[in-house]
Amino acid sequence: MGKAKVIDDPAIAILYTREPSGIRGSHVKAVVFPEEEKDVSLILKTAYKYNVPIYPQGSSTSLSGNSVPLEPGIVVSMERMNRVLEINIVDNYVVVEPGVRMEDLNAELAKYRYMFPVDPASSSVATIGGAINNGAGGLRGAKYGTMRDWLLAVRLGIADEEGSILNLGCYTVKCRSGYDLARLIVGSEGTLGIVTRAVLRITPLPEDTVYALSFFDSLEDLMEAFIEIRRSRLNPFMLEFMDSATVDYASKSLDLPYEPKGNLFLVGIETSPESNQRILDTLTSLLESHGAHTIITAHGDKEAHDKKLFAVRKNLFTGQARYTLEKEGSSGRIMVMIEDIVVPPSKVPEAVTLIRGLGEKYGFTVFIGGHIGDGNLHPAVGFNAEDEEERKRVEQWFHEVMEIALKLGGSISAEHGIGLLKKQGLRMELEYKNSLKALQLMKEIKKAFDPKGLLNPGKVL
Ligand SMILES: Cc1cc2nc3c(=O)[nH]c(=O)nc-3n(C[C@H](O)[C@H](O)[C@H](O)COP(=O)(O)OP(=O)(O)OC[C@H]3O[C@@H](n4cnc5c(N)ncnc54)[C@H](O)[C@@H]3O)c2cc1C
């Protein structure tokens, strides 16, 4: 590939063994930076020949240990394959390389008044390849779902003698070419192949939007407002929540034009200029009637950004990390174990109550927030990973949160993936659903794509 595409200095390579949660991998032999598809093919072919484990990586912002290397091998960073190759408005798709960052894609699409609607809170750095492989969702999930709803096709490099590149899926919404292997890649976490190109559906930007950021003293009142909005015909695309402890820490470093006090509820609704005011009035009176003590509204995305309506919510993880640093100091090795369960939206209030009770049982400060519009909750606990006893207790708590999700008809993972943290959880979910045999099927699928087990070994299964 040439020296310019390889880093083998251990002091730099080690930076590619980490992720924001504090999970760390082992040392890597090298980090390689493919710039075109034929580089990826060469990497896969060579890895196959010499039996070298390879770890595909976007920006490594996953929170379940998804892309950290476990065995001495090669990290394949996709950051230089970052071109938007085609924007096709008539056929409603884009063709992109995997290293394109999600916010950058939306900046391009905005020129045509279009958008790619999956927007993780990490979208300023998260890559398309990472989002596909994590099955990512985001703040617009209440209406627009996750990556699996928006992926049409991928080009996938697999680890075989030739480093073959396969075209999976179609450029059209309707597509029946046997088993749906393109969507099998969604959420496969780099264990089946390397995505070298993706074809994604796009959609027009809404004509207009309205937002309301509100704060509630009572969590129960907030949850009632949430259920009433779900029951109404307002059809919001954004329904985000943070409890008051999370709000306190997430807003500490922010200079805000409002006072962030209490439990946070953020609602976004697509409108038209004609319906704007009517919908905003309905929303505001609904929030007031449920006890919101502060309501800040905005017409359109620009006003919402200018008024910093998203700032606290986007700082959710930073707030949790800040608290942990304050609590543990910087001498230990801090970790933030962030859960990613999903329940039917109607069960969110019950899930929040049970998770808070669990925090009391363990004596932890548990931060809770999430994309409640699609039932996705992110309870989190920060701790010192060098304290073995504390670590075990946190793991037990983590396990019990997953049990709550299953009992309420949900799933152990919504968007962050299985990675390292949830392998046991995946097994528990399949057992719970009386479908443990599915694990064997997954192992067979892995073997069919990657017979030597070289792609992101040790993850998911
Ligand atoms: C502050 C913060 C907020 C977040 N908010 C959200 C959120 O709202 N919603 C959400 O879904 N997630 C969220 N995340 C998790 C994460 O950012 C997203 O899932 C994101 O899409 C991952 O992108 P990445 O480029 O960092 O992928 P990485 O972490 O680098 O990789 C993710 C997985 O994909 C594999 N992979 C990467 N590129 C390729 C490729 N080209 N081919 C094959 N496999 C590949 C990796 O091996 C790994 O298993 C958040 C994370 C943080 C730190």
Q: Residue 146: CB within 6 Å of ligand 1?
A: no
Residue 132: inside a domain: yes
Percent helix, strand, coil in the chain, to 5, is 40, 20, 40
Residue 101 and residue 47 in one domain: no
Q: Whose CA is nearest to atom 31 of ligand 1?
A: 130
Pocket test for ligand 1, best of 37, 61, 181, 317 (most atoms within 8 A of CB): 61
Predicted pLDDT of residue 127: 98
Sign for the pseudo-dihedral over CA of 306, 307, 308, 309: negative
* Domain end marker among 284, 314, 344: 314
- The H or E element spanning position 59 is none
- Whole-Å CA distances, 401 to 46, 54, 353, 373: 42, 32, 11, 19
* Domain end marker among 204, 238, 259: 204
Angle between helices 388-407 and 348-362 (to 10 degrees): 160
Q: Report the number of distinct structural domains present in the chain.
A: 4
Predicted pLDDT of residue 329: 80
* Cα angle, residue 141 at apex, residues 93 and 136 outer, rounded to 5°: 70
Report how far ligand 1's centroid is from the alpha carbon of 122 (Å). 8
Predicted pLDDT of residue 328: 81
Q: Residue 61: CB within 6 Å of ligand 1?
A: yes
Residue 347 and residue 396 in one domain: yes
Which parts of the chain sit beneath pLDDT 70?
none
Q: Whose CA is nearest to atom 17 of ligand 1?
A: 61
CB 76 within 8 A of CB 34: yes
DSSP annotation of 14:
G
Predicted pLDDT of residue 452: 98
Predicted pLDDT of residue 253: 87
CATH of the domain at 430: 3.30.70.2740
Residue 95 and residue 73 in one domain: no
Q: Can you tell me which atom of ligand 1 is nearest the CA of 193?
A: 43
* Residue type (1 letter), 117: P
CB 358 within 8 A of CB 392: no
Q: Residue 122: CB within 6 Å of ligand 1?
A: yes
177 sits in the region (left: phi over 0; alpha: psi -120 to 50; else beta) called beta
Residue 292 and residue 375 in one domain: no
Residue-wise pLDDT for 333-384, tens only, equals: 889 999 999 999 999 999 999 999 999 999 988 999 999 999 999 999 999 9
Contacts (Cβ under 8 Å, ≥6 apart) of 259: 294
Residue 301 and residue 346 in one domain: no
This prediction's pTM: 0.97
Report how far ligand 1's centroid is from the alpha carbon of 165 (Å). 22
Q: Residue 17: CB within 6 Å of ligand 1?
A: no
Residue 319: inside a domain: no
Q: Residue 157: CB within 6 Å of ligand 1?
A: no
Q: Residue 190: CB within 6 Å of ligand 1?
A: yes
Residue 282: inside a domain: yes
Q: Whose CA is nearest to atom 16 of ligand 1?
A: 62
Domain enclosing residue 51, as ranges: 3-79
Q: Can you tell me which atom of ligand 1 is nearest the CA of 188?
A: 49
Residue 91 and residue 176 in one domain: yes
C-alpha Rg value of the chain to the nearest Å = 22
Give the alpha-carbon dihedral of 214, 215, 220, 221, to 10 degrees: -60
Q: Residue 78: CB within 6 Å of ligand 1?
A: yes
- Token pair, residue 142, equals 């209440």
Predicted pLDDT of residue 216: 98
Q: Residue 138: CB within 6 Å of ligand 1?
A: yes
CATH of the domain at 94: 3.30.465.10
Q: Residue 189: CB within 6 Å of ligand 1?
A: yes
Predicted pLDDT of residue 325: 86
Q: What is the distance of C-alpha 33 from the center of its chain? A: 23
Residue 260: inside a domain: yes
Q: Could you give the residue ranges of the DSSP H alpha helices within 194-274?
A: 219-231, 244-250
Residue 346 and residue 256 in one domain: no
* Domain end marker among 204, 227, 256: 204
Report how far ligand 1's centroid is from the alpha carbon of 280 (Å). 34
Residue 239 and residue 254 in one domain: yes
Residue 219 and residue 187 in one domain: no
Report how far ligand 1's centroid is from the alpha carbon of 129 (Å). 8
Q: Whose CA is nearest to atom 50 of ligand 1?
A: 122
Residue 187 and residue 216 in one domain: no
Residue 236 and residue 284 in one domain: yes
Report how far ligand 1's centroid is from the alpha carbon of 130 (Å). 4
Residue 295 and residue 403 in one domain: no
CATH of the domain at 30: 3.30.43.10
Residue 459: inside a domain: no
Q: How many residues does the chain have?
A: 461
How far, in Å, CA of 332 to CA of 335, rounded? 10
Residue 450: inside a domain: no
Q: Whose CA is nearest to atom 8 of ligand 1?
A: 120
Q: Residue 196: CB within 6 Å of ligand 1?
A: no
Report how far ligand 1's centroid is from the alpha carbon of 240 (Å). 20
